Amino acid sequence: MSTMAPDLQPVTKPAASKPKPTDRLLMQIIGYVALTLLAVFCLFPFILVLSSSLTDESKIIEDGFQLIPTSFSLEAYGILFKYPQEMLKAYGVTISVTLLGTLFGLFLTSMTAYVLARKDFKWRSHFSFFFFFTTLFSGGLVPWYLLIVNYLDLKDTLLVLILPMLMNVFYIIVMKSFMSSIPEAIIESAKIDGAGDFQIYLQFVIPLSKPALATIGLFIALGYWNDWYNALLFISNSDLMPLQYYLYRLLGNMDGMRKAMMAAGAVVSSDIPTESLKMAMTIVATGPIMIAYPFIQRYFVQGLTIGAVKG
């Protein structure tokens, strides 16, 4: 909050009645109560899932999913970590896809944004329109799907999990508007010193764009980490299933899960705690996000706040 300069002008109008402190108190009460309710509303589903994952399967069958485990049991996690091959494979896929996708995506996005931000580039508005138009109109799902499956032959490849999501016009725009705020003088003086366009990008613009790179990078990474749609459409090879898609399959198809586990080791079908296992896998699939969240959320807040102010 800005500190106000002392009000030097005498108040000449008749003294209005001072706002009673009770309205402030009421505001605080409403604020604390409502915000607490909203926070609980946002948080309790997670607690529910966590608790269900830690509840003994027989208790779930009997009493259903409860907020607090009536009978504590690590059995579901035990099974997950006893036969972790599938889960680890999924983690591996997601981590590689996220790393590669974020790296290349960030590089390409920032490079494109740089060119579009260069005010001396004659055709920048033409190219901007070229990119921007894709957000207004599209050919729809079918042509895109057929292109990837029939013509590019990308089905069941790691590339198909990375490539279609690599560039996003919105991120280009955000980064471009950030780069536009870099003082023209810096680029000018670099050009006078004889630096090439790409050199300017690498040596000057990138270092100065660290906040935007961090924010957009995290948005891209989050998108990759949570992606299941591309796998849903294009992946049937169980070695290439990313984490969220693996979870999706498990949730909808416990039989498949059972078979995989029985194939991995002698496990009697009736021993598998299906309900708590679903919840345990959910926690495992979203665990890293939850752990990283407190540290990375401020970058998102930062990005959103700047974006909101800039309109």
Q: Which is nearer to other proteins, 263 or 289 (CB)?
A: 289
Entry field: residues in the chain: 311
Residue listed under structure tokens 């996003």? 168
The answer to whether 257 and 247 are in contact (CB under 8 A) is no
Closest CA to 124 of 165, 166, 172, 192: 172
Nearer to other proteins, 194 or 265 (CB): 194
CB of 202 to other proteins, least distance (A): 11
For residues 231 and 261, which CB has a smaller minimum distance to other proteins in the complex? Answer: 231
| CB closer to other proteins out of 244 and 261 | 244
- In whole angstroms, how close is the CB of 7 to other proteins at the nearest point? 8
The smaller minimum CB distance to other proteins, of residues 137 and 266, is found at 137
Q: How far is the CB of 133 from other proteins (least distance, A)?
A: 8
Cβ proximity of 79 and 261 under 8 Å = yes
Q: Which is nearer to other proteins, 151 or 265 (CB)?
A: 151
- Residue 278: CB atoms within 10 A of its CB come to 19
SS3 letters across 228-271: CHHHHHHCCCHHHCCHHHHHHHHHHCHHHHHHHHHHHCCCCHHH
Least Å from the CB of residue 266 to other proteins: 28
Number of helices and strands in the chain (H, E): 16, 0
Q: Cβ neighbours of residue 246 under 8 Å, at least 6 residues apart?
A: 86, 87, 90, 285
The angle at the Cα of 49, spanning 220 to 59, to the nearest 5 degrees, equals 160
- Closer to other proteins by Cβ: residue 99 or 147: 147
Encoding tokens for residue 80?
């997950």
> Minimum distance between the CB of residue 198 and other proteins, rounded to whole angstroms?
5
CB of 44 to other proteins, least distance (A): 10
Q: How far is the CB of 34 from other proteins (least distance, A)?
A: 6
CB of 279 to other proteins, least distance (A): 7
The sign one gets for the Cα dihedral 200, 206, 212, 216 is positive
Nearer to other proteins, 81 or 198 (CB): 198
* Token output for 120: 């001396």
Displacement of CA 71 from its chain's centroid (Å): 34
